[in-house]
Amino acid sequence: MNELIQLQARLVPEVIEITEKRYSILRTIEFNQPVGRRALAGILGQSERWVRSELELLKDQNLIDIQPQGMLVTEEGKEVINKLRYYISELKGLRDLENNLKTMLDIKDFIVVPGDIEKDSQVVIEIAKVAFEYLKNRIEDGTIIAVSGGYSLLAIAENAYKLSAREVTVVPARGGIKADLERQANIVAAKLAKNIGGSYYLLHLPDNINEDMLRQMSDDPDIAKVVDFVKRSDIFIFGLSSLEAICRKRNFTEAEVARLKELQVRAEAFGCYFDKAGSIVHKSGSVGIKAEDLDNIKTVMAVGGGVAKAEPMLLVNRGRKNHVIITDEAAAREIYQLLQGGI
């Protein structure tokens, strides 16, 4: 495949450009369907005339269906999108990048989705779909899945579908935070379980509580049951944040921000704060998954995209042989540059 792409690039470079263009159109229709021609042109930043000629070809190939309410991608079109996703990755050299980063970080797997989530918000759906495809192949009868919250995790849950595996249980990895109720771990766990046909349990408690209250809550039978599931998880899926992002997300006071900067915090994930060496220098008290639990989990999956997530992904996952990173092209290339720079 790689050799064929190189030959195409030299002999008929316009074929590659056209392929990328039509792949982008199909993908945009799929993410926004049903969508009208004018709306599609606006999303793509192109003229209606430019879009019209391309749509006629896609319709003739039975890749899209044009209905009164708008355009939709056909089943044949969805199949083409899925196959082209691999081709586009090869085209951009992302397979080599994946292999290099997997080796450089010494982790289980590194998967790169074409694009930049910070420039194209639809890339989060691409990441979610690729993440679920990876996930579904590791779900068996009786599998326990623990999840964190966040936009990327919510997108995975929303793009999941019914699986044949039985008695699958999904639980939130930790308690919630004060804001963003619609994407907390409880919501992600419930949606993912519902869509794959599994069961779920929830943690009704704040993410950051004092030690005395933490000990009392840990004795509650309902909470203890969820914590037991978390400890026995086969799969853990989580998002991560930079220092700047986590401070905004949790509305930290100036004193709290100053303390984290004093500790030289650069990243946060599952309630742990990491410095530039990848060491945990601070933990927020909460019932749920702990850093020491991760080594006992078969598959630990970090999901997210954008250049801002590059350093956190590197610091949180490096050297952990059961970890998988699924991210976008922008973050992957930034991680490579950071590693080349000696971080």
pTM over 0.85: yes
Stretch 262-271: mean pLDDT: 94
- Return the structure tokens found at 279: 């060491």
pLDDT attached to residue 34: 94
Distance separating alpha carbons of residues 7 and 13, to the nearest angstrom: 9
Sort strands 169-172 and 70-73 into parallel, antiparallel or unpaired.
Answer: unpaired
Q: Exposed/middle/buried for 236, CB within 10 Å: 0-12, 13-18, 19+?
A: buried
Identical topology for domains 2-89 and 95-340: no
Q: Kindly report, residue by residue over 271-299, the tens digit of the pLDDT.
A: 899 999 999 999 886 778 989 999 999 99
Fold of 2-89: Arc Repressor Mutant, subunit A (1.10.10)
Three-class SS of residue 214?
Answer: helix
Q: Kindly report, residue by residue over 292-343, the tens digit of the pLDDT.
A: 999 999 999 999 999 999 999 999 999 999 999 999 999 999 999 999 998 8
Domain limits, the chain: 2-89, 95-340
- Kindly compute the dihedral angle of the four CA atoms of residues 217, 223, 226, 230, in this order, to the nearest 10 degrees: 0
- Return the structure tokens found at 144: 């326990």
Contacts of 97 (CB under 8 A, 6+ apart): 112, 332, 333, 336
Fold of 95-340: Rossmann fold (3.40.50)
The residues that bridge with 325 in the sheet, in sequence order, are 110, 302
Sort strands 299-303 and 323-328 into parallel, antiparallel or unpaired.
Answer: parallel
Q: Kindly report, residue by residue over 76-103, the tens digit of the pLDDT.
A: 999 999 888 888 888 788 989 999 999 9
Q: Exposed/middle/buried for 88, CB within 10 Å: 0-12, 13-18, 19+?
A: buried
